[in-house]
Structure 1
Amino acid sequence: MTDPALDAGTTRERAVASLVTARDRTTLLTSCVDGPDLTAQHSPLMSPLVWDLAHIGNQEEQWLLRAVAGQEALRPEIDSIYDAFEHPRAERPRLPLLPPEEARRYAAEVRARALDVLDGAAFTGRRLTEAGFAFGMIAQHEQQHDETMLITHQLRRGPQALTAPDPEPVPLFTGPSEVLVPGGPFTMGTSAEPWALDNERPAHRREVAAFRIDTTPVTNGAYQAFIEDGGYDDPRWWTAEGWAHVRRTGLTAPLFWQRDGRQWLRRRFGVTEVVPPDEPVLHVCWYEADAYARWAGRRLPTEAEWEKAARHDPAGDRSTRYPWGDAEPGPEHANLGQRHLRPAPAGSYPAGASPLGVHQLIGDVWEWTASDFLPYPGFRAFPYREYSEVFFGPEHKVLRGGSFAVDPVACRGTFRNWDLPVRRQIFSGFRTARSVEGA
């Protein structure tokens, strides 16, 4: 029988480590540029970095200090300023935002108090704190905003501000181009993962017909073939909405790409470089991913297909936490946590492959799926409707798997991301699938 005191100690250690890791990353992302870059809006699609910084502190205050500990509000007058639903991103620069140093002091004071709350927290008796959920939710929230701030850094013009080592080079991938995923039921979602968010719940059985899925994400080299074949000029490959979007916006290549004679260049965190052909393609919208798949005679996988490829272990007929099993992600498994500032070459991390041999399902690039963002059977919003429920519907498409910009605390085989089908500033790529005849 597990000792409850040891269980609580492990939960506390995990929560502290997750919160500290998130704050270290936030500090890096907001200290590598000076004040004007923190307060500027580098794209109408994104908030000023200083808004994200104070918003992180405000969410932590509202949930850990007020909701968990019942403390008086520190700065109630700023709640509406940092309410993401009250003010669209394009309007946030005009708000009376806390200046950078004041935002840092506020976030630091909240964190000091939150760690005191965590030190004395009970992890039973309340759903909000069961197994440390509220602390895990806040660590995930901060890491999600860290990814958002990294996107802002990519959109930012100016000299390079962030550096990181490149992924280890690997031999050109020569394995099979696709993997057969047998048909049959599997368990999708989770009811057991203690820090899983509401849209990942509950676990339920899902029947999936046999299909084939790309062994690796689609690469830059493969995507260039689509471009060179006139893919952006041929309406056959696009949905009606996608073709209208291409005509309206003049898309000709992934975001940040530009042609230089016979080669393609890209801008990556302030550096211009030749597009590496063996990396997963990055910064494509859903319409582009869907058009490529049609051009290739394939399709995007459904969300259920993607999760079955990532989690189903046919040997034990069970769903694992990650493609490689139940162990927490390590550097041998996946490209996560901003350890690198680019995807790893296709075929990297063989230790992270699924039992069926599908590579790089976790990390590197978010992968667009064919599915709309919808609730699972038995879904219940918790702890607030605005995290998931208000986004359900055909307007948003599901992305899976995480990217190099995602921290492991906010990435698992059941984790669901979503965005509008026009979005390209996110670290998004894709892989394709095809149905099996007669399945």
Structure 2
Amino acid sequence: MTKAATAVSTHTPTPAPTASQTAIPQEIAVNDYEMILIPAGFFFMGMNSQTLQEECELFNAGCDEGWFSSSQPVHIVQLDAFYLDRYEVTNEQFVQFLNEMGSHEQTCLAEDCWRASDSKILADDEGFYEIGPSEVNLPVTGVTWYGAAAFCAWRDARLPTEAEWEKAASWQIDNEEKFVYPWGNVFEGNALNHCDDNCDAPQANPSYDDNAAEETEVGSYLNGRSPSGIFDMGGNVWEWTNDWFDENYYAGSPVKNPQGPASGTTHTVRGGSWFDTGNFSATAVRFPAPPTETSNSIGFRCAQSLRPKQN
């Protein structure tokens, strides 16, 4: 991958950028993690469930509009500026976290950070973690919500809120336009990794060929970037967000920096995956997953707030 800036040579967490009257960098590189600025401002969050059902019908017969009812009503949201990872977190990056943090149960609020059965990460008898050379740049999978949150905190970052994730995935700032998919309003089968002709599953769609059977290296689909220039916000792996899931949350969601429900039993995942048909990569699609869930089709990326200027 081409680096946007010179990476810091230490693994010590670097303080978040400071908001000031000077220009805010559009891209930053913190300890090898490239991040893109998502400017402050409004966007329209959500999508009509009928629109999402119609997209689903392009791939599957018998799609139920109720599958997508939690994505409505469309509502206006105002967000502060923030940074979001250009790429999904990779196996190599998560291995570094596990090896530096030691006992992962203690690191992740007494919960498992990950499970080997849903991951390509290996552990030896002495507790050292490693990844095969051909898999270092694949998105990490098999990570619980607790593991994702702990990794981001280790980086002095955090998981994105649902609203932050959706704005970065869908909002064309210059034209104030909401995209159905990260790249535009029409599905493009070669713009993402989804369950196509290469996918060994009943839902595989032979009409498309994305050159991948499972996960692909992060950043592989140049024409699938979001309006903000972020890779893989559609397909490859679902991504954890910080928010608890509530199918009715949008009906009373605050306008300014919504953080999701105060509590719940499941968190929200976004973006679709290599194991799902392409319609689930629509930017407004949202689904619940228990925080202890591990899957070979769920990963994550991190966000970082701009801190107030210190006097």
Question: Do the structures match in fold with TM over 0.5?
Answer: yes
Structure 2 counterparts to residues 354-433 of structure 1, below 5 A: 354-374=226-246, 375-378=248-251, 394-433=264-303
Cα distance change on mapping 1:232 and 1:341 into 2, 3 Å = farther
Gaps (5+ residues) in structure 2?
5-26, 28-33, 54-64, 199-211, 253-261
Q: Which amino acid aligns with 1:378?
A: A
Question: Which has a greater percent of helix?
Answer: 1
Asked whether the 8 Å contact 1:227–1:252 carries over to 2, the reply is no
Cα-to-partner distance string for 1:232-289 (whole Å, 9 max, x where unaligned)? 4484x53xxxx2224xxx9676744332587735xxxxxxx66611111111110110
RMSD (CA atoms) = 2.6
Deviations 1:78-137 (A, max 9, x none): xxxxxxxxxxxxxxxxxxxxxxxxxxxxxxxxxxxxxxxxxxxxxxxxxxxxxxxxxxxx
**Could you tell which deviates more after superposition, 208-217 or 190-199?**
190-199
Structure 1 contact 264–275 (Cα < 8 Å) conserved: no
Residue among 160, 174, 187 paired with 2:3: 174
Structure 1: 5+ residue stretches without partners: 1-171, 266-272, 380-391
Which amino acid in structure 2 is aligned with residue 245 of structure 1?
E
**In 2, Cα distance between the equivalents of 1:370 and 1:226?**
19
Q: 1:336 touches 1:364 (CA, 8 Å); kept in 2?
A: yes
Cα contact 1:254–1:282 (8 A) shared by 2 = no
Once the two structures are superposed, the pairs formed by residues 7-406 of structure 1 within 5 Å of their partners are: 172-175=1-4, 177-191=34-48, 193=51, 195=53, 197-233=68-104, 235=106, 237-238=107-108, 243-246=109-112, 255-256=118-119, 257-260=121-124, 264=130, 276-331=135-190, 333-338=191-196, 339=198, 340-374=212-246, 375-378=248-251, 394-406=264-276
- Return the alpha-carbon distance in structure 2 between the equivalents of residues 214 and 220 of structure 1: 15
Residue 215 of structure 1, CA deviation: 0.3
Q: Which amino acid aligns with 1:230?
A: M
Judged with a 3 Å threshold, the aligned counterparts in structure 2 of structure 1 residues 276 and 202 are, in CA distance, closer, same or farther, namely same
Where 1:377 maps in the other structure, the secondary structure is: helix
The 1-side partners of 2:105 and 2:251 are apart by 42
Structure 1's 354 and 428: CA in aligned 2 closer, same or farther, altered over 3 A?
A: same
DSSP-derived class of the 2:186 partner = coil
> Which structure has the larger Rg over C-alpha atoms?
1
Contact 1:254 / 1:284 at 8 angstroms: preserved in 2?
no
How many Å separate the matches in 2 of 1:252 and 1:173? 31
Distance in 2 between the 1:419 and 1:232 partners?
Answer: 24
Counterparts of 2:115 and 2:279, CA distance in 1: 36
Secondary structure of 1:289's match?
helix
Deviation at 1:378, TM superposition (A): 3.4
Q: Does the CA contact (< 8 Å) of 2:114 and 2:147 recur in 1? A: no
Which whole-Å CA distance do the structure 1 matches of 2:115 and 2:192 have between them?
A: 31
Q: Is the CA contact 2:149–2:158 (under 8 Å) kept in the aligned structure 1?
A: yes
2:306 is aligned with what amino acid?
V
Shift, 1:426, TM fit = 4.9
**Is this contact kept in 2: 1:255–1:283, CA < 8 A?**
yes
Q: Is the 8 A contact 1:363 1:403 kept in 2?
A: yes
Using the alignment, how far apart are the partners of 2:299 and 2:52 within structure 1?
29
Q: Is the 8 A contact 2:114 2:143 kept in 1?
A: no
Residue 173 to residue 221, structure 1, CA distance change in 2 (3 Å)? farther
Distance 1:233 1:424, change over 3 A: closer
Shift of 1:416: 0.5
* Cα distance between partner residues in 2 of 1:259 and 1:234: 15
Q: For residue 24 of structure 2, what is the aligned residue in structure 1?
A: none
Which amino acid in 2 is paired with 1:314?
Answer: I
**1:321-363 C-alpha deviation (Å, 9 max, x unpaired):** 11111121321x1001153332211221111111221111011
Q: Deviations over 1:24-58 (max 9, x none)?
A: xxxxxxxxxxxxxxxxxxxxxxxxxxxxxxxxxxx
Identity %: 30
TM-score normalised by structure 2 residue count: 0.70
